[in-house]
Structure 1
Amino acid sequence: MKIIRLSKFLFSLLILSGALFVESCKEIKVEQSRPLVSEYSNSVFLRWNDIFLQLDRYAVGYRPGPVPHALGYLGYTAYEAVVPAMPGYNSLANLYPGLQIPAFDEEKEYHWPAVINECYAYLMKRFFFHMENEYPDLFQSIEQTRQQLYNQYATETTPEILARSVERGRSVAMALYNWERTDLEAHNAFLNPQPPYDAPTGPGYWEPTVPDFVQGLFPFWGRVRTFALPEAEQLARPPIPYSGNTQSLFYNQALEVYFRVNNIKENGPGAYEDRWMAEFWSDDILGLTFSPPARLIAVANQVVAEENLNLEETVEFYAKLGMSLNDISVGIWQSKYIYNLERPVSYIRRVVSQQYPAAGDWTTILNNPINGYEGITPAFPAYPSGHSGFAGAGGKILSAFFEFNSKHPGTFVFTDKCHISRTEFNGTPRTLASFTELAREDAYARIPLGVHFRMDCDEGLRMGELAAQRVLELPWRK
């Protein structure tokens, strides 16, 4: 009898174990049926970044601060919207006081490109609302893109999942936008890019420059919120002490600019290469090209497409890139208006002309083919260089993401085709041996253009790399 009872017991136990096994298999199967972000392509990002670059080209008041600010919020919003389906990644929302991300339903399925599509559409309509009247076709391209992608995704999933995904993207974008609105210095700053401020005067201090004498842009941008760069690291190291002495380091920095630009004008040795490099990396002119910070997005788009990243990798990459560009814009512009260092053209005309009289009417080689102005200099203090900061930050993120893996062990040969079809300047593609080289060329191209001293570029690069490093150090991974 004992044997029979034991057999019945074992039989019952086997039945129960089998049932549990079946149920656990069902649970595993259900979880696996919910697609992860990594299972999708990156096309949604490339599509929206292309729209951003088109808008950025013509966006009045967006250069330089609001561009990286928008890129930072766009990239970070997409990350927070989809990170629940990125195993191994953390939300960063708890790092930012006042930011509340809507709850995520783990039991439901989402179409992740549709989530990102809604994030970008919601934010870009609000970041570029001032273009609706002046550039209606460009502004309408935001909704047209959203609808085209929505229609595509409607063929890939069910109406219920698509509706849920749209709601997820919109709700997270709304949360991030409401949080962005609490940054009073940044929110809608493009509507008033030249607020009055008390600028110091005297030898060595910045003043509006020939030929257009535009007042300083975004003097208070240094107060804008950062994602990772702490306040203690936002101020640049002091520049070389100002001096009019012909034997001083400052004077020699000016001479480098003066002679290098003159060599281009006179078509001397190396002039073709210097002009090509200077014009290729400029991106200064509104309406001609996208802006300097957006240039790093244009570069990144080429690399992301070439490397065929999946959507999870792409989400992480553009979040880090955008947040780094935002943060370095804050540090650079805080430093510019604390040191208020004059531009090379002012120093060369006033001081160098005492030794070289021809320098009295010296100009840069930055020209605007749209309004005909020649010899332009950007309308804010010189030190440190914004171009160099953006290049340093972007180059660091690109290097960290693409150069140190089995496919590219420590290097990445890249040909930049951003301006391949341009006729207004030499947009012939340039090939760089690494992203570090790309960053340095972008930065130091400002010297032969005539708009920066070497020290501006040195410090901008250092600060940009630091800003990117602080973003990389955020607790992205579990």
Structure 2
Amino acid sequence: MNPSRSALLALGSALVLTATAAAPSAQATPSPATESGAVVRDWYDITAQTVAAAGATTQVTNSRTWAISWLAAARATREAPRGHDRAAFQDAAVASAVHDALTALAPAHAPQLDAALAATLERIPDGPAEDAGVDAGTRQAALALAARRGDGLDPASVNAPFTVPPAAPGVWQPTPDGYAPAAQYGNRVARPFLLDSPAQYRLGPPPALDSRRYRADLAEVRAVGSADSAVRTPRQTETATFWYGSSLTLYTEPLRVAVTRSHGSAADRARLVALFHAALVDTQIATSDSKYTYTRWRPVTAIRTGSLGTDPAWTPLHTTPAHPDYPSGHGSYAGAAEAILGALAGPRTAPYTLTSPTAPGVRRTYTDWEQLTRENIDARVFSGIHSRSADEAGVALGKAVGGHTLRHADRLLDPRG
């Protein structure tokens, strides 16, 4: 047993009460060491709970935390030697890599993370494979953290000031309620994981203001997206509310379903998590590039001040986020998620149930990933905060970035960085 492992085991014993009270639930009742995928599942849950407890104010920053932690894990597992101890190496590598990355990115949670690592290592057979796996995880976490230093994805950089252009037809302006300054402008100059540039998959322009498509979009969102809509059904209202929250939060459980149902090794599962979140960071960067290239106004501005059936009192069902309409960030997130999950976990799976923090008590059951995308498209229209064109364009952008990630995955996962 190497010295670092001995120290962790001692610390784990000292912190056992803290770990039970504050660490992820997976560590309160550890999974059997022989259970396939147990270590990956446990550290997936630890990552989710750490990000939820210590997360940044910007979604892409939290996506970055996931991506760095699990890229380190995926790269470390690729160092596993051939032989019967390969599984022990990979389990130790995953735990060590994710632990070290999360400790660096959420240092206030180091005691809980240390206790969780000690509990994991206690369940892995002692020996050279375990020690080498821990060392590989530590090495790859340090490399991944160093590689992403200064990438422009910290909250201050993400929300860099944006000068609002003069009001004009089609041009984004701050929206009610609150008229908050533009958010996520800085994403468009952040450093992606795999894209050559944020503009690599920049979309074409949104529908012209005098086009049939624009008129149809505006008429739809005016009718079904208003706070007092007489045509939106209860099910549609539920859909809007269910998908109103953070995409990162809403997709944490679908990805967990794919990871836990995988029949692959720890390396395969870590690869799935790593590619998912790297793709989603790049997608959010690409989304902001297109948003701030076209600065298309939101439906509430178009309806209140535009020339098509102007209604100064029109109010959407949900408060409009503080950035341009085109493309939809929820749409692009869903498109990229579908691309990664469909390719690496298959397009369909046994029924799984999701809940949403913005729709307490609502449970929805799905059997594929595409339905999540379809609901995201509809939801933003039913909320009154996006045009359908913006939602569909977002999905197309996300799928393009997800496909790029899959095609270049080996470059990203190379243990040599």
**Is contact 1:385–1:459 with CA below 8 Å preserved after alignment?**
yes
Q: Measure the CA separation in 2 of the matches of 1:472 and 1:377.
A: 33
Q: Measure the CA separation in 1 of the matches of 2:35 and 2:267.
A: 8
Among 195, 201, 204, the residue aligned to 1:229: 195
- Aligned-residue Cα RMSD (Å) equals 3.0
Structure 1 residues 234 and 257, CA gap change in structure 2 (3 angstroms): same
Q: Measure the CA separation in 1 of the matches of 2:167 and 2:268.
A: 50
Structure 1 residues 143 and 365, CA gap change in structure 2 (3 angstroms): farther
State the partner residue of 1:104: none
Output the amino acid matched with 1:282.
Y
State the partner residue of 1:275: 237
Q: Measure the CA separation in 2 of the matches of 1:438 and 1:52.
A: 23
State the 1:193 CA deviation.
4.3
Among 269, 273, 278, the residue aligned to 1:323: 278
Q: Measure the CA separation in 1 of the matches of 2:156 and 2:106.
A: 11
State the partner residue of 1:195: 160
Output the amino acid matched with 1:117.
A
Q: Measure the CA separation in 2 of the matches of 1:151 and 1:70.
A: 22
State the partner residue of 1:258: 222
State the partner residue of 1:68: 63
Give the SS at the match of 1:208: coil
Consecutive unaligned residues of structure 2, counting only runs of 5 or more, are 1-33
Q: Measure the CA separation in 2 of the matches of 1:58 and 1:380.
A: 26
**Is contact 2:101–2:141 with CA below 8 Å preserved after alignment?**
yes
Consecutive unaligned residues of structure 1, counting only runs of 5 or more, are 1-38, 88-106, 133-139, 284-290, 367-375, 404-409
Structural mapping, 1:291-302, within 5 Å: 291-302=246-257
Q: Measure the CA separation in 1 of the matches of 2:351 and 2:103.
A: 33
**Is contact 1:413–1:431 with CA below 8 Å preserved after alignment?**
no
**Is contact 2:63–2:280 with CA below 8 Å preserved after alignment?**
yes
Count the aligned residue pairs: 375
Output the amino acid matched with 2:219.
L
Q: Does 1:460 align with 2:394?
A: yes
Structure 1 residues 442 and 59, CA gap change in structure 2 (3 angstroms): farther
State the 1:83 CA deviation.
0.8
Q: Measure the CA separation in 1 of the matches of 2:186 and 2:262.
A: 39
Give the SS at the match of 2:352: strand
1:217-275 Cα offsets, whole Å, 9 max, x none, are 221212222233333633122111235xxx7532331221110124x73464x511111
Give % identity.
21
State the partner residue of 2:96: 118
**Is contact 1:325–1:394 with CA below 8 Å preserved after alignment?**
yes
Structure 1 residues 413 and 275, CA gap change in structure 2 (3 angstroms): farther
Output the amino acid matched with 1:281.
W
Q: Measure the CA separation in 1 of the matches of 2:237 and 2:161.
A: 35
Q: Does 1:176 align with 2:144?
A: yes
Q: TM-score, normalised by structure 2?
A: 0.80
**Is contact 1:328–1:390 with CA below 8 Å preserved after alignment?**
yes
Q: TM-score, normalised by structure 1?
A: 0.71
Structure 1 residues 328 and 417, CA gap change in structure 2 (3 angstroms): same
**Is contact 1:110–1:164 with CA below 8 Å preserved after alignment?**
no
Q: Measure the CA separation in 1 of the matches of 2:266 and 2:177.
A: 46
State the 1:61 CA deviation.
4.5
**Is contact 2:225–2:385 with CA below 8 Å preserved after alignment?**
no
State the partner residue of 2:353: 416
State the partner residue of 1:470: 404
Give the SS at the match of 1:363: coil
Structure 1 residues 121 and 149, CA gap change in structure 2 (3 angstroms): closer
> Radius of gyration: which is bigger?
1
Output the amino acid matched with 2:239.
M
**Is contact 2:124–2:130 with CA below 8 Å preserved after alignment?**
no
